[in-house]
Amino acid sequence: MNLQQLQDWKRFVPDLVKVLELIDRKSTIAIGFSPYSRITPALFLKNYAIYSVKDTTDNDTLREYAKIFCLEERHPKVAAKVHATGYLLRNYAFQAFLKSRRLPYRLMFYQTTQKIVDTLNEFKIDWVGNEPKSFDSLKFKGEFRRIVRERGLPCIPNKEIPREEFFQMSLRDLWELWRRSFVVQRADFDVAGELGTFFIRSKQDWETAREILIKDERYTKLTVSPFVDGYSLSMLGCVTAQGVLSGTLQLQLIDIPESLHGQLGTGVFMGHDFGFRPWNSEAEETAQKSVESLGAYLADKGYRGIFGIDFIMDKETGAIFPIECNPRFTGALPLYSLMSMWQGVPPLELFHLISNLRIDAPFNFDEVNQALKQRKTISHVFLTPKGISEMKLPMASGIYSYQPKEGGIRLERYGAFPWELKNENEFIVIDAVPRVGGRITKNVARLFKLVFPQQIATSSFSVKPEIGQIITKLSTALRKDQSDENDEDDSQSDEIDAI
């Protein structure tokens, strides 16, 4: 980190130099599917590295800022088999990598499972993260709703229905519960990606959801809630020794039509818009209180560090309801942390490490908490891989421009961070951009993202026409000359997000 950044952060964390030295006594190695979502600590730690499973064009851009080790570069056949961290930890190639480390190290995980923890303990590997028992009670939708009610927080109505009873009910039966469109989720099993939440607005929505859910026997109950016409929102939190820090309330993008490119939407998360804000300060305060209360609940269970809460806000009444907890680093975190750093504020990853490593580092809690509410007008949106089995479009990670009159998209230069964008005609292509010839795993919810220095949303489900044109143009190019064949084993594809 540069001298100016050091001075900026010392206003918030007076013993910053000592804190960074304590963290850097061991090398922190972040484990992930791709490097971009783990890049932030590389901008302020000396002994930080990323172990990436997939070889993407991100590596070419991000190696200027971070040490990146890539499994697929050296062992492509091994990388093809990795669907979850539990498999990676026991693999000979990864074990050989760990044995080659000269400095003492710790591994950092976004989220753990009991299987991961057991493996880490078996091999006596130091690690940063949380024990599953500290967050399991908030992971499932049904239990989360119960805890929200118990803590006196605003709670959207819901009905839990046993699996067998649910499949005996008709669309009309469920519609009659609230006489409006509704939302269906598994109550006692967590499904990552796009198949966890189903918005039922039509007969086709119902038939699609029923077909998917009836094939899945890993859950025993479903939760059904009335559909709220409003905004899908989220807020980050971080459990520290001094209390629960909270971020800004941000709009989530869901089922963007241009990204779906003709495919049926199933409630998939596709990005955020930090500049879109049609709500008032009261909504922000209500969300913050929910994050603080649920963070305190997690703290009582032994949880430390970063988590996220999803909300739904009713457009008509302005009421805001917490609907889900993500006890991990979330999809908002990378861009949110870069936005914080851009404004001279330490990112949440610093406080996550301080908290998890039990470092005694008093900081001005109120000042930090207030500074974390600052925002820039930036956005990101994912493209989806539906209908794509192989990457045939040669596309580097970097900064591109869009020329509306010519309809062309052009690579301008390498770059990865929002402060490198010069104007609103430019955008970044980043976050696991496949190399030409790379296979696309079937049913993965998101391919790579576009980062814009502007507001792009008109609602949670739509973007501005000019942004839609860029997404459509890229989506069309990515699907050119694609076959329907996909040889990838997708039986565990939902687990990739857990790496």
- On the question of pLDDT at 327 being above 90, the answer is yes
Structure confidence by residue, pLDDT tens digits, 433-471 = 999 999 887 767 889 999 999 999 999 999 999 999 999
Give the per-residue pLDDT at 213: 93
- On the question of pLDDT at 487 being above 70, the answer is no
- On the question of pLDDT at 497 being above 50, the answer is no
Give the per-residue pLDDT at 192: 59
Split at pLDDT 50, 70, 90, the class of 496 is: very low
Structure confidence by residue, pLDDT tens digits, 94-133 = 999 999 998 899 999 988 999 999 999 999 999 999 999 9
Structure confidence by residue, pLDDT tens digits, 270-322 = 999 999 999 999 999 999 999 999 999 999 999 999 999 999 999 989 999 99
Contact call for residues 27 and 108 (beta carbons, < 8 A) = no
Structure confidence by residue, pLDDT tens digits, 24-64 = 999 999 998 899 999 999 999 999 999 999 999 999 999 99
Kindly tell me the sign of the dihedral angle through the C-alpha atoms of 400, 403, 404, 407.
negative
Give the per-residue pLDDT at 307: 96
Q: How large is the C-alpha radius of gyration of the chain?
A: 22
Give the mean pLDDT of 327-353. Answer: 95
Split at pLDDT 50, 70, 90, the class of 386 is: confident
> What residues contact 464, with CB distance under 8 A and at least 6 apart?
455, 456, 457, 458
Split at pLDDT 50, 70, 90, the class of 485 is: low
Give the per-residue pLDDT at 44: 96
Structural domains of the chain, with CATH = 3-130 (3.40.50), 157-226 (3.30.1490.20), 379-478 (no CATH)
What's the whole-number average pLDDT of the chain? 90
**pTM, rounded to two decimals:** 0.90
The lowest-confidence range among 83-97, 199-213, 410-424 is: 83-97
Give the per-residue pLDDT at 231: 95
Contact call for residues 338 and 417 (beta carbons, < 8 A) = yes
Give the mean pLDDT of 231-253. Answer: 97
Contact call for residues 91 and 35 (beta carbons, < 8 A) = no
Give the per-residue pLDDT at 328: 93
- On the question of pLDDT at 498 being above 50, the answer is no
Give the per-residue pLDDT at 490: 42
Helix axes 333-342, 348-356, angle to 10 degrees: 110
Report how far apart, in Å, the C-alpha atoms of 20 and of each of 41, 103, 360 are.
Answer: 11, 16, 12
Spatial distance between the Cα atoms of 189 and 221, rounded to a whole number of angstroms: 9
- On the question of pLDDT at 220 being above 80, the answer is yes
Structure confidence by residue, pLDDT tens digits, 166-208 = 999 999 999 999 999 999 999 888 775 557 788 898 999 999 8
Split at pLDDT 50, 70, 90, the class of 484 is: low
Report how far apart, in Å, the C-alpha atoms of 350 and of each of 142, 183, 190, 473 are.
Answer: 32, 37, 28, 38
Give the per-residue pLDDT at 486: 46
- On the question of pLDDT at 403 being above 90, the answer is no
Q: In terms of Cα–Cα distance, which of 402, 390, 384, 394 is closest to 454? A: 402
Helix (H) or strand (E) holding 479: none
Split at pLDDT 50, 70, 90, the class of 493 is: very low
Spatial distance between the Cα atoms of 208 and 452, rounded to a whole number of angstroms: 33
Contact call for residues 466 and 425 (beta carbons, < 8 A) = no
Split at pLDDT 50, 70, 90, the class of 494 is: very low
